[in-house]
């Protein structure tokens, strides 16, 4: 007995689907103007029909033809919408199949021709066309005879006119059907398999999936497992979904510890409150149409057995009932797990220092900085205490450290100016510590020198050739023996792969990153495992040095990895690509409307670099919605003061309410 499949429509909006019909009908209405050129060969000016339409609705000026085209377009769109709604509501045709979309379009075009155009043409337009010709060109047509309708000239065949309009309406219908069907498949409803938790853009693909995967004799799936939801992992996912959207043999799974994609270049602006927190994050499920997604921790990876064990909490986050583990098997594995902060052996730094690797870090840092300002405002008469509260130490003079220190300086000084009237700008001390001889080793020496001058001009202290050897809860000890008393230590000293990856039985570089070949394949597992992004060591064939761990390299690696993975699955090894990417440029901000960078080999600094930085990253934000939200945030920042609102976490609330009897007061 044949199993009956159930059509499951998810993410469906009648407004959106009808909007696709509207777009198709508009293009179809435009396409209807093209066949009217045939009328020129019949002795009838092609625009006369549109003049007649205009006259019928009462427009007799020079704009009559435009009015005619408009009324015809509106009518065609309206009828197309009515038919589209009827088909959607009744379920007669599902245009997520291109053939069904074509049938819908031909049906709509035929209805418009038979129900609307022919009656209107015979009863209304034809007499008006005859009147127009008689009034505008009487002498030219005196020598010809008219048929029983009184309008058809000897050179003007009525059947031929009807044929031309049949062609016009068929062109209209095909345009409407193909356009609305294509848009529906690309952006419209999704058909989700509840067992597999994946969706298809076409109903026929969904039906085939149910039949071949959940039928009596299920086929073997090719399982692709992507670990990591950063720039590299998401780019691989996008490319794979684009290629295998309707290939039911492919099973794609994305695993990430967070359920969102974080646009990390803008994290420093989150820490200062310039950009709202949610504006640089996008739900990973928004990317996963054809893929399953799991928000979970990765417990272990077995490269030999091709197994990954994931684990997650059950119950409340603070007091989980239990931890649950699940095993995921794969045929192809993509490692794109990014990196974690490298403290270079300074053990206490991991406990005492703030980092800026994720969204939580940025929120906690912003709250802490505001807290220091609030405390210093109360304790403004205790100079030593005020000095400790308003001393901020940033460790690391690379891109991350420079951007953090610039943003932090602007935020603190602006906040003191507008909100903390017991304090002065000169009270705040922001110190940048760099182990190397110069800051920003990623750019040329002259740009680094420019950045250093600008940073010092803004009142920051910069210590080069200086290492942090010890960190405590209230001070930083330097290698020269100097001790800086502070309540705020921000560590931006670089990254390293997660311990989980460093322990894998494959080749690593000295920092623990996974070594790959130029196809981004892991040595010893070239047939099944690829590594990319910050956790991978990919050698530049032009320089012999590893590529830097930046977003632009991760994106490009994601594209190349996807191409090579697709080639493996399709057994087209000759289509593989090597990763040979020339850096388009590097940019960093060094304070308010100031920056440095190298773009396509050209050095830029100052306002121009700041402008290029913002423009580039705004364009690369993942959705139009996020682009608009960030742009609005930037515009607001131009005209309004910084927001010093501090939203305490539950842990902070508990710490903020000690037993009154345990407190001592100093006056």
Among 314, 359, 305, 295, residue whose Cα is nearest residue 333: 305
Pull the structure tokens for residue 538.
């990919």
pLDDT band at 223 (very low <50, low <70, confident <90, very high): very high
Residue 425's CB: how many other CB atoms inside 10 A? 11
Pair 554, 534: CB distance under 8 Å: yes
* pLDDT for 660 beyond 50: no
Does 557 reside within a domain? no
Within a domain: 473: yes
Inform me whether the pLDDT recorded for 145 exceeds 60.
Answer: no
Q: Is the pLDDT of residue 257 over 80?
A: yes
What local confidence, expressed as pLDDT, does residue 659 receive? Answer: 52
* Domain-ending residue, one of 187, 204, 229: 187
Residue 214 pLDDT > 50, yes or no?
Answer: yes
How far CA 274 is from CA of 54, 282, 410, 507, 643, in Å, comes to: 54, 18, 11, 42, 8
Cα distances from 279 to residues 186, 233, 270, 288, in angstroms, run 25, 20, 9, 19
pLDDT band for position 188 (cuts 50, 70, 90): low
pLDDT for 320: 59
pLDDT band, very low/low/confident/very high, at 88 (cuts 50, 70, 90): low
Whether 71 has a pLDDT exceeding 80, the answer reads no
Distances (CA, A) of 177 to 103, 116, 403, 408, 576: 7, 19, 51, 55, 37
In tens, the pLDDT along 294-321 reads 999 999 999 999 999 999 888 776 665 6
Selected residue with higher pLDDT from 203 and 449: 449
pLDDT at 35: 55
What's the pLDDT score for residue 47? 64
Residue 547 lies in a domain: no
User: Which CATH number covers residue 424?
Assistant: 3.50.50.100
Contact call for residues 222 and 569 (beta carbons, < 8 A): yes
Highest mean predicted confidence (pLDDT) among 60-69, 348-357, 571-580: 348-357
Helix/strand/coil for 648: coil
In a domain, 628, yes or no: yes
- What is the per-residue pLDDT for 65? 72
C-alpha separations of 571 from 202, 566, 575, 641 in Å: 26, 8, 9, 59
Per mean pLDDT, which range of 167-181, 297-311, 409-423, 651-665 is the poorest?
A: 651-665
**pLDDT tens readout for residues 451-471:** 999 999 999 999 999 999 999
pTM of the complete model: 0.78
% of the chain exceeding 70 in pLDDT: 86
Mean pLDDT on 231-248: 92
The answer, yes or no, to whether residue 6 has pLDDT greater than 50, is no
Output DSSP code: residue 423: -
- Does residue 146 register a pLDDT over 60? no
Residue with tokens 């690309």: 186
Model confidence band, residue 154 (pLDDT cutoffs 50, 70, 90): very low
Average pLDDT over residues 378-406: 93
**For the residues 161-182, what does the mean pLDDT come to?**
80
With contact defined as beta carbons under 8 Å apart, do 111 and 172 qualify?
no
Higher pLDDT, 170 or 279: 279
The neighbouring-strand residues paired with 224 are 252, 332
Residue 238 lies in a domain: no
Structural domain containing residue 27: 9-187
Q: How many CA atoms within 13 Å lie on the side-chain side of 550?
A: 18
Residue 661 lies in a domain: no
Within a domain: residue 416? yes
Give the mean pLDDT of 59-77: 76
Give dist(CA 28, CA 32) in Å, integer.
6
What Rg, from alpha-carbon coordinates, does the chain have?
33
Phi, psi of 657 (to 5 degrees): -125, 65
Q: Assess whether pLDDT exceeds 70 at residue 144.
A: no
Specify if 302 maps to a domain: no
pLDDT, mean over the chain: 84
| Stronger pLDDT, 186 or 43, i.e. the higher one | 186
Q: How many domains are there within the chain?
A: 2
Q: Could you tell me the pLDDT band of residue 491, with boundaries at 50, 70 and 90? A: very high
Closest CA to 178 of 245, 244, 108, 242: 108
For residue 153, name the pLDDT band (cuts at 50, 70, 90).
Answer: very low
Choose one of 135, 165, 187: the last residue of a domain.
Answer: 187
Domain boundary among 132, 161, 187: 187
pLDDT at position 650 is: 63
C-alpha distances out from residue 172 to 54, 83, 104, 156, Å:
20, 14, 11, 24
The answer on pLDDT for 615 being more than 90 is yes
Joined tokens for residue 41:
């060969």
Across 534-562, average pLDDT: 92
- On the question of pLDDT at 530 being above 60, the answer is yes
């Amino acid at each position: 007995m044949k199993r009956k499949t159930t059509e499951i429509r998810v993410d469906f909006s009648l407004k959106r689907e009808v909007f696709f019909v509207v777009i198709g009908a508009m293009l179809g209405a435009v396409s209807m103007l093209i066949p009217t050129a045939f009328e020129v060969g019949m002795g009838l000016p092609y625009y006369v029909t549109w003049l007649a339409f205009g006259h019928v609705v009462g427009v007799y000026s020079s704009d009559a033809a435009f009015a005619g085209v408009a009324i015809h377009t509106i009518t065609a769109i309206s009828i197309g919408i009515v038919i589209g709604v009827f088909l959607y509501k009744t379920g007669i045709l599902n245009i997520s199949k291109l053939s069904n979309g074509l049938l819908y379009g031909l049906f709509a075009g035929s209805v418009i021709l038979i129900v609307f155009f022919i009656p209107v043409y015979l009863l209304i337009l034809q007499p008006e066309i005859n009147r127009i010709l008689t009034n505008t060109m009487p002498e030219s047509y005196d020598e010809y005879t008219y048929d029983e309708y009184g309008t058809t000239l000897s050179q003007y065949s009525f059947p031929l006119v009807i044929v031309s309009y049949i062609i016009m309406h068929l062109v209209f219908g095909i345009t409407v059907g193909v356009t609305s069907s294509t848009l529906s498949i690309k952006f419209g409803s999704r058909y989700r398999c509840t067992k597999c938790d994946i969706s298809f853009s076409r109903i026929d693909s969904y039906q085939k999936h149910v039949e071949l995967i959940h039928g009596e004799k299920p086929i073997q799936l090719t399982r692709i497992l992507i670990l990591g939801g950063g720039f590299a992992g998401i780019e691989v996912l996008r490319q794979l979904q684009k290629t295998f959207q309707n290939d039911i043999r492919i099973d794609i799974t994305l695993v990430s510890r967070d359920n969102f994609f974080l646009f990390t270049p803008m994290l420093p602006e989150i820490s200062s409150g310039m950009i709202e927190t949610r504006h640089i994050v996008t739900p990973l499920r928004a990317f996963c149409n054809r893929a399953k997604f799991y928000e979970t921790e990765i417990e272990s990876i077995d490269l030999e057995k091709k197994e990954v064990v994931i684990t997650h909490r059950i119950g409340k986050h603070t007091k989980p009932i239990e931890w649950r583990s699940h095993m995921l098997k794969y045929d192809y594995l993509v490692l794109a797990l990014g990196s974690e902060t490298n403290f270079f052996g300074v053990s206490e730094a991991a406990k005492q220092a703030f980092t800026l690797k994720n969204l939580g870090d940025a929120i906690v840092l912003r709250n802490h900085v505001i807290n220091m300002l609030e405390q210093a405002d109360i304790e403004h008469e205790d100079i030593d205490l005020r000095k400790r509260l308003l001393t901020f130490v940033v460790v690391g003079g690379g891109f991350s450290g420079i951007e953090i220190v610039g943003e932090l300086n602007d935020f603190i000084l602006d906040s003191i100016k507008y909100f903390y009237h017991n304090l002065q700008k000169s009270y705040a001390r922001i110190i940048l510590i760099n182990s190397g001889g110069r800051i920003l080793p990623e750019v040329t020496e002259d740009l680094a020198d420019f950045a250093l001058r600008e940073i010092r001009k803004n009142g920051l202290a910069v210590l080069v050739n200086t290492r942090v050897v010890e960190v405590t809860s209230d001070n930083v000890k330097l290698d020269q023996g100097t001790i800086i008393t502070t309540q705020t230590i921000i560590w931006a000293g670089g990254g390293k792969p997660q311990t989980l990856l460093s322990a894998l039985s494959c080749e690593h570089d000295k920092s623990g990153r996974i070594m790959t070949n130029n196809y981004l394949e892991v040595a010893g597992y070239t047939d099944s495992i690829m590594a990319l992004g910050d956790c991978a060591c990919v050698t530049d064939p032009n320089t012999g040095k590893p590529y830097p761990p930046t977003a632009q390299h991760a994106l490009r690696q994601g594209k190349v990895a996807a191409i090579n993975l697709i080639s493996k699955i399709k057994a087209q090894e000759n289509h593989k690509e090597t990763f040979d990417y020339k850096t388009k440029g590097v940019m960093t901000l060094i304070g308010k409307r100031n920056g440095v960078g190298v773009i396509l080999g050209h050095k830029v600094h100052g306002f121009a670099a700041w402008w290029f930085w913002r423009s580039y990253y705004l364009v690369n934000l993942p959705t139009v919605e996020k682009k608009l939200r960030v742009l609005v945030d930037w515009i607001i920042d131009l005209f309004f003061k910084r927001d010093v609102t501090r939203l305490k976490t539950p842990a902070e609330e508990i710490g903020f309410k000690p037993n009154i009897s345990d407190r001592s007061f100093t006056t």
